[in-house]
Amino acid sequence: MFVPVVGEWSPPGDCALLLPAVSVGNVGQLAIDLIISSLDMPKVGYFYTDCLVPMVGNNPYATNEEHAKELCINAEVYASSDQKLAVLQIRSPLIKKKSRAFSQALTCWIKKCAFTRVVLLSSSHAYQRDDSQLFGTPFRYLVTPALQTLVADAMKTLEWKEMEKMSLYPGMNDDERKISIPGGGFTKRLFEDCCSEGIHMAVVLKFCSEGDNIPDAFSLLDHVNRWLHLLDLPEDVGTTRWKIPSSWRLLFGSGLPSALF
């Protein structure tokens, strides 16, 4: 359930929604952090649900001491009217066995807001790739049937590669295939629910491994930016124009105390 910060909020016409999956390396969440920080998007509300692990912390996008005192929770909504863009940032994992309930609540809210398109940023375990996925680009995409006809030309122009279906019984019966996104969290479930609900939704993911996944977040966001044009990034500039939020200073802790040496 969406709860506005002040008064009422509804997305402007032709508004798109971006959100992350809590997946391997937290790549989608890091990319969403960069979007919110770079576009200086104000918080308009939060997504109230009992399906996520509860959490509270300081404002991750604070630019001064006063803003640092503001609190954030596990699922918050940011929006930019100029960009016609809304962003749902998810900061904690799903509670076990509540994946279906969360996906249903999310699709219900998406339909109520009538977003023109939904883009889910995700990731998948690099070590569980099929042989056909070992070469070429590490990025893949999926689109629901409702969105397929609208973006088919754009995907072809961008030369993006669609996520392959995997064999259920490799070497025994390769005719039975399904979508498999190991390490992708609720990505597959939300995608399937959006398919059945007729929602215009796309998944954009990267194969990666756990570790320092900041470069993965930058590259995934650059990849998505070629399609959505969130920020004007000349090809020779690379990732330098994305604004890193203040909270990333402690992404790997505060360092070792000097008293240890």
Q: Give the CATH superfamily of 17-233+242-249.
A: PAC-like subunit (3.40.50.10900)
Q: What does the DSSP assignment read for 134-184?
A: SSS-SEEEEE-HHHHHHHHHHHHHHT--BPPEEEEETTTEEEEEEE--TT-
Task: Please write the tens of the pLDDT for every residue from 170-184.
Answer: 666 666 778 899 999
Look at residue 239 in the predicted model and tell me its pLDDT. 45
Q: Which residues contact 226 (CB under 8 A, 6 or more apart)?
A: 158
| Total-model pTM | 0.90
62 compared with 106, residue with greater pLDDT:
106
Backbone dihedral angles phi then psi of residue 75, each to the nearest 5 degrees: -145, 110
Q: Which residues contact 172 (CB under 8 A, 6 or more apart)?
A: none
Q: Which residues contact 128 (CB under 8 A, 6 or more apart)?
A: 182, 183
Task: Please write the tens of the pLDDT for every residue from 97-124.
Answer: 999 999 999 999 999 999 999 999 999 9
In this prediction, residue 146 has a pLDDT band, given cuts at 50, 70 and 90, of: very high
In this prediction, residue 236 has a pLDDT band, given cuts at 50, 70 and 90, of: low
CA 70 to chain centroid = 23
